[in-house]
Copies of this chain bind each other. A is one copy, B any other.
Amino acid sequence: MVTPTVPDGNYRRKTPGAILDWKRNMTASQKILASIDRSSWIRKIFEEGQERKAKYGAANVFDFSLGNPNVEPPIRFKEVLKDLVNNPVPGMHGYMPNAGYLETRTAVADYLKTFNRQDFTPGEIVMTVGASGGLNIVFKTILDPGQEVIIPAPYFVEYNNIIDTHQGVPKIVRTKPDFSLDFDALEEACSEKTKAVLINSPNNPTGKIYDEEELGELGKLLTRYSEKQGAPIYLVSDEPYRKIVYDGFTVPSIFNAYNESFVVTSFSKDLSLPGERIGYAAANPQMTYLKDISQGMVICNRVLGYVNAPALMQRAVTHLLEESVDISIYQKKRDLLCDALGSFGYDFFKPHGTFYLFPRSLEEDDVAFVNVLKEENILTVPGSGFGGPGYFRIAYCVADDVIEGSLPGFERVIKKYR
């Protein structure tokens, strides 16, 4: 029997004030209501940007707020896609194993062998709905409720949501002033509750690549704590920007640095396909409980409703593992922006990769500073949104015109603070 829990039984009557809020609290999930309220704030920023574009003309507003690649996919992608679609084979849009096509996973395994020491097989690879899909299946596979995932800041804030969905707890740790790993902070954060460390290299929002020495030291630290704990602490590396690197930098292999490791990645940035939701997750073939973990990943791909990565895109990327957009285009944008902002006196770490720049804001309150830039029609994101207060993020995956057009505004702003 159901007992009435409100005096007014008619829930459709829109009574004002407390009752209405109380009722609203019974409609969507508490966490989602909080997200809605938070995202209204972000939407407000976005809408203000749109208003500015309407008022001043789109060409006079310099929008660096979104990480949406502006470079078209490589010609080779378009050719492969046309070839697939113009020569259809029966069943090509049907189900396949939840892990993905064997042919695609074999191609990924062979590709991974070219820059990692491990002998990958298709068994370690799961094709996923982008890198976000990959992160979700990895964390659903490994997390029991209340277990902690250590994340060096600044970081991509969506990580909080992913870990929370799988009932884990994000534990954010500081990095050094050059955004390299701070091992004292990592040691302090390790506890019996630690299940994983999540890194992102090259990093969004800083453009930092963790070097081989750092990763080696991280591997040793995690081996030591895994042994103390009697069970592996996993290292998860989110690497969608692996190919978007400059000045001869390369991203060292996480697999070589530590056995209990995963790589999650996508083709969103390097092939400019973020709308198509195609990526993969790979477990280290030397992982202790490889069989359970890789089966778990496949099950989670199904259980989380992805079921499989989109079929046609799996078929396409099978032939495109060595491809990427022309990285020099992004490097030119980085140089244009860094040379100018540096000459004006902005303080920043020069990115090794990605298409983000993360300079110090000119006042402590990065939200206030972003508003000052907005007065110049320059749209950026406060560092607080990435666990990096006192900084702001410029996503420079935009037309060169946008960068060039913004420079006088950036210069006027820094002059105000002198």
The chain A residues found within 8 Å of chain B, CB to CB, are 2-6, 8-12, 23-24, 26-33, 35-36, 39, 66, 68-69, 72-73, 78, 81-82, 85-86, 88, 90-96, 129-130, 132-136, 140-144, 158, 161-162, 165-167, 190-192, 194, 225-232, 272-277, 288-289, 292-293, 295-296, 299-300, 302-313
Residues of B within 8 A of A96 (CB): 275
Beyond A6-B230, A82-B85, whether A299 also contacts B32 by CB under 8 A is yes
Residues of B within 8 A of A10 (CB): 227
Cβ 8 A contact of A272, one of B93, B133, B308: B93
Residues of B within 8 A of A292 (CB): 24, 27-28, 33, 36
The closest CB in chain B to the CB of A192 belongs to B2
Are B72 and A140 within 8 A (Cβ)?
A: no
Are A275 and B2 within 8 A (Cβ)?
A: no
Residues of B within 8 A of A308 (CB): 275, 277
18 further interface pairs, Cβ-Cβ under 8 Å (given A158-B303, A304-B304): A2-B229, A11-B226, A26-B229, A29-B141, A31-B144, A32-B142, A32-B299, A35-B303, A36-B299, A72-B91, A86-B86, A96-B275, A129-B129, A129-B307, A136-B305, A275-B312, A277-B310, A305-B306
CB-defined A-B contacts under 8 Å, sample of 10: A2-B194, A4-B229, A8-B230, A28-B296, A35-B299, A85-B86, A134-B305, A277-B309, A306-B306, A312-B313
Residues of B within 8 A of A306 (CB): 129, 132-133, 277, 305-306
A375, chain B: closest CB distance, angstroms: 27
CA distance A416 to B311 in the complex (A): 44
A81, chain B: closest CB distance, angstroms: 5
Are A2 and B85 within 8 A (Cβ)?
A: no
Beyond A276-B311, A292-B36, whether A232 also contacts B130 by CB under 8 A is no
Q: Top 9 A-B pairs ranked by shortest CB distance?
A: A275-B311, A6-B230, A26-B231, A132-B305, A27-B289, A136-B305, A161-B303, A32-B296, A85-B85
The closest CB in chain B to the CB of A8 belongs to B230
Residues of B within 8 A of A274 (CB): 93-95, 307
Are B72 and A90 within 8 A (Cβ)?
A: yes
CA distance A191 to B4 in the complex (A): 10
Are B305 and A135 within 8 A (Cβ)?
A: yes
CA distance A34 to B23 in the complex (A): 38
Are B133 and A305 within 8 A (Cβ)?
A: yes
CA distance A11 to B232 in the complex (A): 7
A160, chain B: closest CB distance, angstroms: 10
Cβ 8 A contact of A162, one of B140, B190, B289, B305: B305
- Of A90, A158, A309, A310, chain B has the most CB atoms within 10 Å of the CB of A310
Are B293 and A27 within 8 A (Cβ)?
A: yes
Beyond A141-B32, A307-B132, whether A95 also contacts B231 by CB under 8 A is no
- Of A66, A134, A140, A231, chain B has the most CB atoms within 10 Å of the CB of A231
Beyond A312-B276, A313-B310, whether A165 also contacts B304 by CB under 8 A is yes
CA distance A78 to B87 in the complex (A): 10
Beyond A68-B94, A276-B312, A277-B306, whether A288 also contacts B228 by CB under 8 A is no
The closest CB in chain B to the CB of A234 belongs to B27
Residues of B within 8 A of A161 (CB): 303
CA distance A300 to B6 in the complex (A): 29
CA distance A26 to B226 in the complex (A): 11
Residues of B within 8 A of A135 (CB): 305
Are B165 and A24 within 8 A (Cβ)?
A: no
Residues of B within 8 A of A158 (CB): 302-303
A374, chain B: closest CB distance, angstroms: 22
A309, chain B: closest CB distance, angstroms: 8
A90, chain B: closest CB distance, angstroms: 6
CA distance A133 to B144 in the complex (A): 23
Are A296 and B35 within 8 A (Cβ)?
A: yes
CA distance A81 to B2 in the complex (A): 52
Residues of B within 8 A of A293 (CB): 27-28
